[in-house]
Structure 1
Amino acid sequence: MRLMLFAAGVLGLCLGQAPALARCTLNIDSPGQVRFAGNSGAGYEGFNRARFDTDFSISISNEGSETCNARLSVQRTDAADLRSGGGDRLDYAVTLPGSLATIVDNQIDVGNPPHAVPVTIASGQTQVQHLAFRIPPGQIVASGEYHATVRVRLLDASDLDISAERTVELVTTVRPEMSVMLYDSGLSSLAAARGTGSHNRTLDFGILRDNAEASLTVLVQSNDDYSLRFTSPHGGALWHETRGAADRIGYTAYFGGRALNLTSGEDYVPSVRATGLNGVSRPLRVRIGQVGLARAGRYQDQLTITVLPD
């Protein structure tokens, strides 16, 4: 008797369908450029100490079949600041709304950018991420156009591969800023910060006497090189209020220790370098000449200071 045993084993391999990979597409709601408008809407003003942001947004769409976990990264492509054609630099930041901390990383950090923002988007959904383009106040740079380029990347959270990316140009116009403010003598930094000066001041000598003096402080702010023009309609003399040039008393004005020659009606202080945030202050001193037997009455002149770009 022969007993034959047969055993048959059947190994069934069932090839299941792998889950579809979530796919995220990054879209930006601007034409590749975000322009910093500032308080005036015309650009950046360094002498304005208030903080202003220009908001923009990024639209992230998940066209895959599963929830997408990703990281949104904003990375520099070149310099760490905005640059002008002349090489001047302007610091900037891209932040989340209500935050002062920048989320911009260096491009070399693409593998694991430390400031990337986590995002989670359900299948078929679109998420809008609001951002702010900020230029800190108080930067005094030459006027002109300033540019920087950043790359906005969507990284897969599992392997940090780039799922999508866009390039955005950040732009601002630095406006020419020039101003003259007049203060009482002995200008303090606190007075300058509070803006307690004015565009008009009166030096009243009271009863005129020979060589009488009075002074004030001139504060100039300019983000470009400049010259100053001093004009006197009376040619550097006080005229009698009713008799005019028929009765006049000469005076000499000194700006920063330099005697101004106002005989022709104007004089210049040329080629002064751009100022810092606090401006440059100089004393303006006026000395009356010989009064002698001048006719009684009120004498006056008007000295105008104008800032001119070089």
Structure 2
Amino acid sequence: MRIAYNPFAPDGAAPAALDLLFQNRSDAVCDLRLALTDAAGLEVGQLTLAGVEVEFRARESSGLVEAPTQRGVFHLSVAGGSTGRAQLNAVVLNDAVAEAGVYEVELTLLVRDAAGRSLLAPVPLRVALVSTPRAQLSLAGAAGAFGSGSSVEVVDFGEAATGATRRIFVQLRANAPSSLIISSQHRGVLKRVEPLEGAPSLAYRLEVDGQVVDLATRWSRPVDPPRDKSGLSLPMIFTLGEVRGPAAGRYEDVLTIDISPD
């Protein structure tokens, strides 16, 4: 059973499925008792992989019925001369941010009759949770948990003035060490939107968490947010350089800000 887990998706992961078909060759009804056990032989109805809680449940469309008092134990009744289908789901219960990686546990499926006699050899069952590397960012007007505060798409200096500053925050979250990447369309200057011969450019400076960003090139720095949904919030401070009577008009630069798991 393989669970593809995205800690930042709304539903986390779709259930992993186990589908078993049993054939009853006798004329009498056969009541099966299916149990999942760990390495110590204990019945397992729920387990934790990398902080992610996983529970085993009978699928609603299946003829499988969970034992009311025994977790990890299921009953299936198969009529004589027919087949019965046992369908089991591994369902994620919480929304933990699992470190990127593959996490596995070896279980055993036991099939017995109502009297507890083994009907089949123990069946090895590997349950794997695959947490693929993920990283997200958002831009906000205030510090806070990821997704909080008003989103920001434009940093507006208003009327140009030497030394004018603006501040926003880049909110980051990831399940692996990552890189914050920033590039500037105009290499760190504001250019007049409507081209005008002889119009100067306006230089500006960007600092991320106190570190000056070299906008003349593709800039990156390592980031490693805490493994939770709130993530990390870093200040971004924009400072306008010297303004020497540029031609009237609107000046702008376009920044591309991204985060990528390493």
Normalised TM-score (structure 2): 0.78
Structure exhibiting the larger radius of gyration computed from Cα positions: 1
Q: Where does 1:170-181 land on structure 2 (aligned, <5 Å)?
A: 170-181=127-138
For 2:99, what is the secondary structure of its paired residue? coil
Q: Where does 1:115-194 land on structure 2 (aligned, <5 Å)?
A: 115-136=72-93, 138-158=95-115, 160-164=116-120, 165-183=122-140, 185-189=141-145, 192=147
Q: CA deviation at 1:252?
A: 1.6
Q: CA deviation at 1:113?
A: 5.5
Aligned to 2:259: 307
Contact 1:96 1:132 in 2 (8 A): yes
Which shifted more, 124-133 or 56-65? 56-65
Aligned to 2:25: 63
Aligned to 1:240: 192
Aligned to 2:7: 46
- Aligned partners of 2:158 and 2:233: how far apart in 1? 26
Task: Kindly provide the amino acid, as one letter, of the partner of residue 50 in structure 1.
Answer: D
Task: Kindly provide the amino acid, as one letter, of the partner of residue 7 in structure 2.
Answer: G
Question: Which segments of 5 or more consecutive residues in structure 1 lack a partner in the other structure?
Answer: 1-33, 37-42, 83-87, 105-111
For 1:50, what is the secondary structure of its paired residue? coil
For 1:221, what is the secondary structure of its paired residue? strand
Task: Kindly provide the amino acid, as one letter, of the partner of residue 147 in structure 1.
Answer: E
Task: Kindly provide the amino acid, as one letter, of the partner of residue 53 in structure 1.
Answer: P
- Aligned partners of 1:196 and 1:64: how far apart in 2? 67
For 1:277, what is the secondary structure of its paired residue? coil
For 2:137, what is the secondary structure of its paired residue? strand
Q: Where does 1:1-310 land on structure 2 (aligned, <5 Å)?
A: 34-36=1-3, 43-50=4-11, 52-77=14-39, 80-82=47-49, 90-97=52-59, 114-136=71-93, 138-158=95-115, 160-164=116-120, 165-183=122-140, 185-189=141-145, 192=147, 197=151, 201-241=153-193, 242-243=195-196, 247-262=200-215, 264-273=216-225, 275-310=227-262
- Aligned partners of 2:256 and 2:201: how far apart in 1? 19
Task: Kindly provide the amino acid, as one letter, of the partner of residue 123 in structure 2.
Answer: R
- Aligned partners of 2:198 and 2:137: how far apart in 1? 29
Q: CA deviation at 1:244?
A: 8.2
- Aligned partners of 1:114 and 1:138: how far apart in 2? 22
Distance change in 2, residues 1:89/1:137 (3 Å): closer
Contact 1:225 1:274 in 2 (8 A): no
Distance change in 2, residues 1:212/1:244 (3 Å): farther
Deviations 1:207-255 (A, max 9, x none): 1112222222212222210121222233322223324896122212121
- Aligned partners of 2:165 and 2:93: how far apart in 1? 43
Count of residue pairs the alignment pairs up: 249
Q: CA deviation at 1:73?
A: 0.9
RMSD (CA atoms):
3.3
Q: CA deviation at 1:196?
A: 7.2
Contact 2:29 2:77 in 1 (8 A): yes
Deviations 1:85-119 (A, max 9, x none): xxx56442221225xxxx79xxxxxxx96441233
Q: CA deviation at 1:151?
A: 1.5
Distance change in 2, residues 1:244/1:142 (3 Å): farther
- Aligned partners of 1:188 and 1:271: how far apart in 2? 17
Question: Which segments of 5 or more consecutive residues in structure 2 lack a partner in the other structure?
Answer: 61-65
- Aligned partners of 2:211 and 2:94: how far apart in 1? 34
Which shifted more, 71-80 or 45-54? 71-80
Contact 2:99 2:227 in 1 (8 A): no
- Aligned partners of 1:288 and 1:211: how far apart in 2? 5
Task: Kindly provide the amino acid, as one letter, of the partner of residue 192 in structure 1.
Answer: G
- Aligned partners of 1:93 and 1:187: how far apart in 2? 36
Aligned to 2:63: none
Task: Kindly provide the amino acid, as one letter, of the partner of residue 118 in structure 2.
Answer: I
Distance change in 2, residues 1:115/1:91 (3 Å): closer
Identity in percent = 21
